Chain A
Amino acid sequence: MTAGRGDIFLAGVGGQGTLLASEVLGEAFLLSGYDVKKSEVHGMAQRGGAVTTHLRFGPKVYSPLIEPGKADLLISFEKIEGLRFAHYLRPGGALVVNVQEIYPPSVATGREPYPADALERLAAVTDRFFPVDALAAALSLREVRAVNMVMVGAGSRFLPLPEGAYVEALGKCLAERLVEVNVKAFRAGRALVQAEAGSSEKGGMRR
C-alpha cells in the first residue's frame, strides 16, 4: 500500500451529484493502491436535502465515517453547506467551496434571508479556503450537471494522486459518452485552484 492517508468530506445538496463525485474519488484511490472507505446516505435525505459523503483513504482504514474535526479536505458544492459541516474540518485543513447559492426552503419561501456573510464566515474557518465558481465552469462546458466533476477537479489539488488517476477513475465510473465532458470538467476544476498547486507534497494530507 502507498503511504499517506487522508479524510475527504463532501457536502452538497441532493441532486448536485455528490454521490458520483465521491465514486470517482474513491475509485481513483482504489486504483492507486489505497485502502478506501466511503459512506453516504440514500433515500429520503437525497430529496433536495443536505447530503454528505465521508471518504477515507490510507494504508488501512477502519471507520467508514470521518471523525468530526479530523477531515483534511472539505469539498462543499454549496456555500452554506460548507459552513454546515465546517466542524468536520481539522485545524489547518483545506476548504474548497463552490460559491453557488442554492436556497433552502426557509430562504426560498422568504422566511429568512440567505446568509449574506457566508463567504466571510467560510474564510474564517481556515486559512486554506478556496472559493471556486463551479457552476460557471460547468455552464461554459454547456453541461450544468458537470458541477460535481469541476469540484472533484478543484479538490484534487489537495490530494496526492496524479491527474491520470482521476481520469482513469472517470472512465470506470461513467458511461463512455459522458467521459469526455466530465474529464473536461475535472480539468477545468483543477485549473480553478492554483494557489496550492503541488500541495500534495506540502502536506495536504497526514503522512
Chain B
Amino acid sequence: MSIPKVSIPADKEGVRLLSGNEAVARGAFEAGVRVASAYPGTPSTEILEELVRYEGVWAEWAPNEKVAVEVAIGASMAGVRALAAMKHVGVNVATDPIFTASYTGVGGGLVIVTADDPELHSSQNEQDNRHYAVAAKIPMLEPSDSSETKEYTRLAFELSERFDTPVFLRTTTRISHAKSVVRPGEPSGPPFPPGFKRDPAKWVMLPVNAKRRHAVVEERTRALRSFAETFEGNRIEWGDRSLGIVTAGVSYQYVKEAFPEASVLKIGLAYPLPERLIREFAAGVSRVVVVEELDPYLETHVRSLGIAAEGKERVPILGELDPRIVRQAVTGEAVPLRAPENLPPRPPNLCPGCPHRGLFFALKKLKVAVTGDIGCYTLAALPPLDSMDLCVCMGASIGAAHGFEKALGAEGPGKVVAVIGDSTFLHSGVTGLMNIVYNRGCGTVLLLDNSTTAMTGAQENPSTGKTLDGKPTHRLDLEALCRALGVEHVYVVDPHDIQKTEEVLRREVGRPEPSVVITRAPCVLLPEHRRGRKTRPTFEVAIDLCTGCKACAKFGCPAIEWAGETARINPLLCDGCNQCPPLCKFQAIRVREEKP
C-alpha cells in the first residue's frame, strides 16, 4: 500500500494542533521544499513521515544521516530548497558533509534539523547540539513552540539563501513532540527558478578553493552577527527590572509560566548570538539569570561579555526543565511536593510475541559477551533477559565485537557476539562487518531482521523493499550483502524457534571464522503480522499442570504473568508467537481453547 499524496490545504480561518515535527513539515512545504531526506530517530522521525504527504515534495529515508545530508546538499546544488532531518546523535554521523557544506554554502536553501533529546527519553546520550553551530559556523534557529517552528522553518530557507549557508533548526523533545496551535499559511516557493549553475570554485572543496571559502565563511559570520542584532526572534520583553532571564527554546515557555512578570530576553537565533542586545538587556535589569536546558551555552556567551550572569550553579545541567524546576532554580526556594510512592518500576519492554525475546533467551545460555546496538533489542539489556554488555551508538556492535576478540588474542574467538538490527546494520554496521573479514576476525554477528525500523515506529529501510511513500522498490538482499563482504557462513533462522536458534548460535559462535546468523521474523507491530493475530492460536497455562517453577516467567514476556502460585497468560496480550510452550518442562502451556 502506498501513501497517497495529498495537497493539504491551508485553511485560512482554521488553526490546527500540530506537533513541532508536523510544523517543520508544514513550514518546509510552505517554503517550497523540493527534496527532503532523513534517517528515522526519536524525536525527529515524524518530520519526514509528514512531509511525504505533501504534494510536490520528494521525501525519502536515507540509510543514515550522512547520506541524508549529502542528498540534501546535492539537491541544494541543483538549485532547489532541501531539508535533512535527524536526531541529535544523527548529526554526529552527518558532521563530515555538514562541516564542509558550511564552506560550499548553498544553491537552493539548505536546512538541517537537529532534534535534541534532553532527559534521554529515547537516546543514548543528551548531547547539546548548539555546540555544532559554533563548531561548523552554521547559523542555528531555535523555536519555542509549533507555531514558531513553522515560521522558523520557512525563515531558515530564506536565511540559507540570503547568507549562502546551510541553516540548523534545533528542536528538543518538548518541541518536536509537543503539540500547539499553528495557523497554516500559503505555500510560496523560493523567489528564483530551480536550476544548477556550475561553479566549481564554490562547490569543489579542493584545498585551493576551500581556503578561499573559509574566508567567505568568516565574512558571512560577521554579517550574521549583525543580522542577529535586529532579528525579531531575538527580543526583549521588558517587565519587572529586578529579574532578567535570558532563555531560548522550550525553556522560554517554562520561564513565562514561572515568572510572568520578569523581564525576558528570548533568543531565537542560537548562533550567532546578538551581543549588543544581550548587553542592552543586562544593563536594563538588576539581576541576570540564564535559563537553558543541558549545557551552559548561552550562559558562557553572556559571561564572555563580562556580564555577571547566574546560570548552571542554579539551573540543572542534567535532564530537561519544567516550570517548577525553573522556579526553584531562580528563587532558590524548594517547593514541597507530595512524596513519590514506592511502586514496582515500569520500564519499557519488548512486545508480547517480539521475535527478539527468544533469541536473547537463547543467547544468554551461551555465556558470551554481547555487544549490542541501537534498536528495540537494546531493551534485552534489562532484566529478566539481562543479556547485553555494551551499547554505544548505531553500528558499534560489530566493530566493538571485533576489538573485544582481538584484545583477547588467541582466546578471543568464541567469546563475543555482536547483535544488530536490519536497519541499524545498513545504517553503519556494514563497514564493521567488512572490517571483521578484512582483518581476519572470526566474530559472530547476529543480524536481527524484523523487516522494519521498529523502535522509531516501523519505518521502511533498504531491506524492506519499500520506500518512505510505501511504494515498492528494490529489496536489499542481506544474505547476499554479507556474502559479498566475504562472510562465507551466513545462515537464516526463525527466532521463534528458540531451540533451533540456540543450536545454530552455538555452532556459529564456536566457528573460527566470521559468520552471520540472520534471525528473520517480522516485527509484531507490522500490520501484516497483526492481521494474523485473529487466526493465530494463542496460549494458556493449564493450572493443573503448572508446578510454579517460574521458568516461563523468567522469559520476560509481558503476556506471561506470575499469579502468586502459578503462571498465567494474559489473553489480551498473548500474540501466539509459540516461543513459550517449549520453556515449560511440564507441558503446562497449551493452545487456548477459546479466543477471548
Cβ proximity bits B397-414 to A, threshold 8 Å, 1 near / 0 not: 000000000000000000
A64 at the interface (CB under 8 A from B): yes
Given contacts A38-B178, A68-B324, A114-B344, whether A108 and B561 have CB atoms under 8 Å apart is: yes
- B560 interface residue (CB < 8 Å to A): yes
**CB <8 Å contact, B341 and A86:** yes
Partner of A63, one of B253, B341, B346, B550: B253
Q: Please classify how large the interface on chain A is, using the bins under 10, 10 to 19, 20 to 34, 35 or more.
A: 35 or more
Report the minimum CB–CB distance from A121 to chain B (whole Å). Answer: 7
Q: A100 to nearest B CB, angstroms?
A: 10
Residues of the A chain whose Cβ atoms lie less than 8 Å from the Cβ of B376: 44, 47
Distance of A106 Cα from B561 Cα, bound (Å)? 10
List, in ascending order, chain B residues with CB within 8 A of A65's CB: 174, 254, 322-323
Chain A neighbourhood of B561, CB < 8 A: 103, 107-108
CB distance from B121 to the nearest CB of A (A): 4
**Beta-carbon contact of A67 and B177 below 8 Å:** no
Given A27-B17, A62-B257, residue A106 in contact with residue B344 (CB < 8 A): yes
Whether the pair B338, A69 counts as a contact (CB closer than 8 A) is yes
Task: Knowing A67-B324, A105-B556, A109-B553 are in contact, say whether A49-B348 is a contact too (CB < 8 A).
Answer: yes
Tell whether B562 is near chain A: CB-to-CB under 8 Å. yes
Given contacts A62-B253, A109-B554, contact A68 B322 (CB under 8 A): yes
With contacts A107-B562, A144-B572 taken as known, whether A42 is within 8 angstroms of B177 at the C-beta atoms is yes
Closest-CB distance, A114 to chain B (whole angstroms) = 7
> Which of B340, B349, B378, B554 has the most C-beta atoms of chain A within 10 angstroms of its own C-beta?
B349
Contact B178 A48 (CB under 8 A): no
Whether A80 is near chain B, meaning CB under 8 Å from some CB there, is yes
**Which of A29-37, A158-166, A199-207 lies on the face that meets chain B?**
A29-37
Do A26 and B17 have beta carbons less than 8 Å apart?
yes
Least Cβ–Cβ distance between A15 and chain B, in angstroms: 8
Measured in the bound complex, the distance between the Cα atoms of B457 and A158 in whole Å is: 33
Q: Does A14 contact B (CB under 8 A)?
A: yes
Q: Which of B178, B339, B558 is in CB contact (< 8 Å) with A64? A: B178
Q: Are A48 and B550 in contact (CB under 8 A)?
A: no
A50 CB within 8 Å of chain B? yes
Which A residues between 35 and 75 are near B, CB-CB below 8 angstroms?
35-50, 61-65, 67-69
B318 located at the interface, meaning its Cβ lies under 8 Å from any Cβ of chain A in the complex? no
Are A30's CB and B178's CB within 8 A? Answer: no
Q: Is the CB of B173 within 8 A of A41?
A: yes
Set of chain A residues within 8 Å of B378, measured between Cβ atoms: 44
Q: Mark B174-208, 1 if CB is under 8 A from A, else 0.
A: 10011111000000000000000000000000000
| Contact (Cβ within 8 A) B553 A30 | no
* Contact in complex: A105, B121 (CB < 8 Å): no
Instruction: Find out whether the CB atom of B121 lies under 8 angstroms from the CB atom of A45.
Output: yes
8 Å CB contact of B343 from A40, A83, A144: A83
Cβ of A69 and Cβ of B121 under 8 Å apart?
Answer: no
Interface centre among B45, B174, B378 (most CB of A within 10 A): B174
Q: Is A112 an interface residue (CB 8 A)?
A: yes
| Residues in B neighbouring A42, C-beta threshold 8 A | 42-43, 45, 122, 177, 457
Contact string, B570-594, partner A, CB cutoff 8 A, digits 1/0? 0010000000000000000000000
Residues in A whose Cβ lies below 8 Å from that of B179: 26, 36-39, 64
User: Does B351 sit within 8 A of A, measured CB to CB?
Assistant: yes
In the assembled complex, how far is the CB of residue B83 from the closest CB belonging to chain A, in whole angstroms? 20
Contact with A along B455-499 (1 / 0, CB 8 A): 111000000000000000000000000000000000000000000
Judge if A104 is at the interface, Cβ distance under 8 Å: yes
CA distance A125 to B455 in the complex (A): 35
Contact A49 B349 (CB under 8 A): yes
Q: Can you list 8 A-B contacts (CB < 8 A)? A: A41-B177, A44-B379, A45-B121, A62-B253, A64-B253, A103-B558, A106-B383, A113-B564
Instruction: Give 10 nearest A-B pairs by CB, closest first.
Output: A43-B122, A43-B42, A110-B562, A49-B348, A64-B178, A47-B348, A39-B178, A104-B346, A48-B349, A44-B122
List 6 additional contacts besides A38-B179, A83-B341, A84-B341; criterion CB under 8 Å: A42-B45, A47-B455, A62-B256, A65-B254, A69-B335, A109-B383
